[in-house]
Structure 1
Amino acid sequence: MGNHTTVTTFILWGFSSFPELQNLLFTVILLSHVTILIANASIMVAIKLNHSLHTPMYFFLFALSFSETCTTMVILPRMLVDLLSESKAISLPECATQMFFFFGLAANNCFIMAAMSYDRYTAIHSPLHYHIFMTQKVCFQLMVASCVVGFLCSLGITFTIFNLSFCDSNNIQHFFCDISPVVHLACDYTAHHAMIIFILSAFVLVGSFVLIVISYVFIVLLAVKMPSVQGRYKAFSTCSSHLTVVSLHYGFACFVYLIPKNNESFSEDMLMAVTYTVLTPLLNPIVYSLRNKEMQTALRKVLDSVNKILPCLAKKKKKKKKKKPEHLKTTIEHLEQ
Structure 2
Amino acid sequence: MTTVGVLRETADHERRVALTPDAVRRLRERGTGVLVESEAGARAWFGDEQYRAAGAELGDRDRVYAGSDVLTCLAPPADADRLRRGQTLIGLLAPLAHPEPAGRLAAAGVTAISLDLLPRTLSRAQPMDALTSQANVAGYKAAIVAAEAYGGYFPLLMTAAGTVRPAQVLVLGAGVAGLQAIATARRLGAVVTGYDVRPQARADIVSTGAAVLEAGHPVAASGDGYARALTEQESAEQQRALQAAVARFDVVITTAQVPGRRPPVLVPAATLAAMRPGSVVVDLAAGPDGGNVEGSVAGTTALIGGVTLIAAGNLAATMPQAASTAYAKNLLALLAVLTPEPDLGDEIQAAVTVTHAGRVVHPAVRQLLEGAAL
Tell me: higher relative CO, structure 1 or 2? Use CA pairs within 8 A at least 6 residues apart. Answer: 1
Bigger proportion of residues as strand? 2
TM-score class, shorter:
under 0.3
Structure number with larger C-alpha Rg: 1
